[in-house]
Amino acid sequence: MNNNQRMKWFTDSKFGLFIHWGLYALPAGQWLGKKVEYPAEWIMKNAKIPLAEYRKLVEQFNPIDFDAYVWMRKAKAYGVKYVCLTAKHHDGFALYDSDASDYSVMSTPFRRDIVRELAEACKAEGLIFCVYYSQMQDWEDANADGNDWDFDRKTKNFVKYFQTKVKPQVRELLTNYGDIGMIWFDTPYDMPKTLCQELADWVHQLQPDCLINGRIGYGIGDYRTMSDNNIPVLAFDEPWETPMTLNNNWGFSKVDFEWKSAKDVIRMLVSVVGKGGNLLLNMGPDALGNFPEKADEVFSQVGAWLKKNGESIYQTNIAPDLTYQTRWGGLTAGKDRLYLHILDGREVDDEVVIYDLELNIKKAYLLETGQVLETIHLYEPARDEFRLRVKVPNPLPDLLDTVIVLEHDGDPVVHSLESKFSE
């Protein structure tokens, strides 16, 4: 497969589900009755919990409500196209059966290989299964990075950790669970480039089509991973992804109620997709194996919207950069189509106005119903200004985001400020 073919599922997908799950779901943001600085999956490090104490969570991990098929049916209804599970996060605990370490789910009362169950259910739902693996930090391992409260850092032998835990565990992930769409590394920090390359070669050797995210380091990955929770200002014409939380934590937290709304998520999705990227939005299941109710509700609303308006998101291209910020929402673009996303109904009244965009419109209509809309294209010579007005129903049919399709001939032409009145 050439590289474009390898990347295609990823660049077409646009929306993925990140799942952060592990021992940290038990303390859920609190230790010894006190709230610990977020994020919840960092609790061991943030509260400097001795390994001997944190390890006791292994005996308590028993998520009796966990049902991989329930999770993946939900994921499907959320409208995501891929799912990325934390097979091992920074705390070092593996959610799968590993010969390389018994610090895993198999040492808990639960004793079920969660990666196996999810890989199977994910594929059964037609979604791409991916794994997150923390390659540099491992707070259980004396030779890895991160734990400076249990271990003396001067004697650490990172290469030993890399050769005896990272590589064997990555091999297990890439050989025991069928096709893995992507392996998601994190926090490369000061890992030497030679080891990063060795890890990438290892992945390629085990599963040539498995993608590697940007946080393997040094630009070695298949695409760029943006900073956590950050959407770039401008479009970026190479594959990229922003990982994003739905509240202020990745792992489950009992003390975080600051959820984004469905409209917030759709607004971010439109912004990301219009700039050519993917949104990897997080879910932090609780210690019994349930998705938090509020997170499930928001994701479900987004999924219901995508079911009607998915054409404006999946398999789309970078949208033109307009001269002005839109007050009413944003743009995405398909082949010979622009999609106008009306997120702020207050700003449109009975028409959407786009300035300085010349577009040869063949047809304008509401995506959800097909209702044809009137368009008026005006040019005002004294201001050298184009105004494209699209009449819309009032009230708007979808208060979350009403999508208008503009089918057009030829390429859209944006009249930049620089171009005005220039000879």
Identify the helix (H) or strand (E) that includes residue 133: strand 128-133
Residue 7 · residue 223 · CB < 8 Å: yes
Stretch that binds ligand H79, among 37-45, 255-263, 361-369, 399-407 (CB under 6 A): 37-45
> Least distance in Å: CB of 23 to ligand H79?
14
138 part of the interface to ligand H79, by CB under 6 A: no
Residue type, 420: K
**Whole-number Å distance between alpha carbons of 34 and 23:** 18
Choose which of 243, 274, 284, 289 interacts with ligand H79 (CB under 6 A): 243
User: Between residues 212 and 390, which has the closer beta carbon with respect to ligand H79?
Assistant: 212
Task: Decide: helix, strand or coil at residue 382.
Answer: coil
Nearer to ligand H79, 183 or 340 (CB): 183
CB of 43 to ligand H79, least distance (A): 10
Please tell me whether residue 358 binds ligand H79 under the rule CB under 6 A.
Answer: no
Using rule CB under 6 A, residue 228 touches ligand H79: yes
Contacts of 374 (CB under 8 A, 6+ apart): 364, 390, 391
Rule CB under 6 A: is residue 39 a binding residue for ligand H79?
yes
**Is residue 284 part of the contact set for ligand H79 (CB under 6 A)?**
no
Distance between CA atoms of 165 and 141, rounded to whole angstroms?
9
Task: Tell me which of 15, 41, 127, 283 binds ligand H79, using CB under 6 A.
Answer: 41
Residues 383-402 that bind ligand H79 (CB under 6 A): none
Q: What's the min distance (Å) between Cβ of 228 and ligand H79?
A: 5
241 binds ligand H79 (CB under 6 A): no
Buried/exposed 273-305: b ≥16 CB within 10 Å, e otherwise: bbbbbbbbbbbbbbbebbbbeebbebbbbbbeb
CB of 34 to ligand H79, least distance (A): 16
Of the residues 113, 186, 398, 401, which one makes contact with ligand H79 according to CB under 6 A: 186
**395 preceded by cis ω (within 30°)?**
yes
In the complex, the smallest distance separating the C-beta of residue 206 from ligand H79, rounded to whole angstroms, is 23
User: At its nearest, how many Å lie between ligand H79 and the CB of residue 373?
Assistant: 41
Candidates 5-13, 41-49, 367-375, 407-415 — which segment interacts with ligand H79 by CB under 6 A?
41-49
The region, left, alpha or beta by phi > 0 then psi within -120 to 50, assigned to residue 373 is beta
For residue 48, count other CB atoms closer than 10 A to its CB. 12
Q: How far is the CB of 215 from ligand H79 (least distance, A)?
A: 8
| Pair 173, 96: CB distance under 8 Å | yes
* Cα–Cα distance, 140 to 144 (Å, whole number): 8
Using rule CB under 6 A, residue 46 touches ligand H79: yes
CB atoms within 10 A of CB 202: 14
Comparison of 158 and 314: residue with beta carbon closer to ligand H79: 158
Q: Which stretch, 33-41, 105-113, 146-154, 254-262, contacts ligand H79 (CB under 6 A)?
A: 33-41
- Of 30, 62, 187, 248, the one binding ligand H79 by CB under 6 A: 187
Residue 39: asked if its preceding bond is cis (omega within 30°), the reply is yes
Total site size for ligand H79, rule CB under 6 A: 11
From candidates 10, 21, 24, 42, binder to ligand H79 by CB under 6 A: 42
| Contact between 300 and ligand H79 per CB under 6 A | no
CB closer to ligand H79, 227 vs 325: 227
**The two structure tokens encoding residue 295:** 């997170």
CB of 282 to ligand H79, least distance (A): 8
Asked if 54 touches ligand H79 (CB under 6 A), the answer is: no
Q: What are phi and psi of 395, to 5 degrees?
A: -75, 160
On whether the CB atoms of residues 234 and 271 are closer than 8 A, the answer is no
Q: Are the C-beta atoms of residues 315 and 12 closer than 8 Å to each other?
A: yes
* Contact in structure between 128 and 82 (CB atoms under 8 Å): yes
Burial, 127: exposed, middle or buried (Cβ in 10 Å; 0-12, 13-18, 19+)? buried
**Residues of this chain that bind ligand H79 (CB under 6 A):** 20, 37, 39, 41-42, 46, 186-187, 228, 243, 250
